[in-house]
Structure 1
Amino acid sequence: MSETELPAWTDVASAADQLQLASTPAELHGALCGWLAAGGADQPGWIATVMADPDLPSPVPGDTLDRLRAASAKQLGDADFGFELLLPDADDVQVRAGGLFAWCRSFLGGFGLAVGDKALSEEGQEALADLANLAAARIEEVDPEQDEESLTEIEEYLRMAVLLLHADCALGPRSRQRLH
């Protein structure tokens, strides 16, 4: 496993269960990425901060949740745009879409904890509004083939939106030039 590779969904789920967190891997990753994208500190004790529960223990160095943090931080700073979302690896479009929408809701929570009074670019404001719309979305009827394609496009858009927000808040305006 490389230092930029996210841990497996099942490993993150197991680690979350051990800490008795009522969060899916998508929710944990979304909150962590929101925190980091908004300029929150890349710190070993991220769970207590991001989950707003000071009683939660810090991950053990090198364990699944520590690797999740380290890989997420590396991916966000990757000049080759290697950022990935941790979503359910399911064939069911509804399950994957539900995971994506939950990821967006948690991202907004983590982002809100760290953003403070940082100014967003116009594109950043649009990206944040799009994330909020996705966080509120629901799937009603499913057309597996069409929805699979749409979901892939949404995932790609989200990756770029998160990188844009990270550039706005954590890296500064100079870095935004790379995204255009």
Structure 2
Amino acid sequence: MTELPAVHDILQASRSLGLAATAAELHGGLCGWLAAGGADLPEWPARVLADDGLPVPEPGSVLDRLRQAVVAQLEDRDFAFELLLAEPGAPLQARTDALFDWCRAFLGGFGLAADKRPVLSEEGEEALQDLARLAQASSDQFDSADEDEDALAEIEEFVRVAVLLLHGDCVMGARHRQRLN
């Protein structure tokens, strides 16, 4: 199962559980958690949002399917990983803001899962620093709609590849090192 649930469904599930997070924030935090080597757990919202009082999503629920899809996408050898940001057709500013929120949440999840500083490749270090810069950005910095659409598409692709690189450094590399020992 690699297809992500719809943004609207995730937002509705988030509200019903009393989570104060958008779909982009939940997806970003979960991706950060898993990319840094965090455990694939049914109670992931409590871990990713650092609140042990949060309820565990029901098996088969939207948030449970989100977790399963993200795990499958990160593990996919065909690089099927995709970002979940905003509703299709949302205005440029909403999609841009969602990307920056996603990056902030990714860094939060990554930091929570990586108890100590993980060993990253040079490219992984650069990717993490670039994600941190994106997390500090705002949509106010864009000027032209056509150029901005192209820029957003490029940034989304960069973020997608950066996540796969970090997952490779922290998870796939660690698995490979374990097999060698």
TM range (shorter): over 0.9
Q: Distance in 1 between matches of 2:20 and 2:42?
A: 20
Q: Distance in 2 between matches of 1:155 and 1:91?
A: 15
Q: Distance in 2 between matches of 1:31 and 1:57?
A: 17
1:125 equivalent in structure 2: 125
Matches within 5 A, 1:1-180: 3-88=1-86, 89-117=88-116, 118-140=118-140, 141-172=142-173
- In structure 1, the gaps of 5 or more residues are 176-180
For 2:91, the aligned partner's letter is D
The offset of 1:173, in angstroms, is: 6.3
TM-score normalised per structure 1: 0.93
- State the secondary structure of the residue aligned to 2:157: helix
Number of aligned residues: 173
- State the secondary structure of the residue aligned to 2:160: helix
- In structure 2, the gaps of 5 or more residues are 177-181
The offset of 1:138, in angstroms, is: 1.1
Q: Distance in 1 between matches of 2:18 and 2:105?
A: 17
Q: Distance in 1 between matches of 2:166 and 2:44?
A: 19
- State the secondary structure of the residue aligned to 2:83: coil
Q: Distance in 2 between matches of 1:23 and 1:154?
A: 22
RMSD: 1.3
- State the secondary structure of the residue aligned to 2:60: coil
The offset of 1:174, in angstroms, is: 7.8
Q: Distance in 2 between matches of 1:91 and 1:9?
A: 11
Change (3 A) 1:55 1:150: same
For 2:130, the aligned partner's letter is D
Partners of 1:94 and 1:142 within 8 A in 2: no
Q: Distance in 1 between matches of 2:174 and 2:111?
A: 20
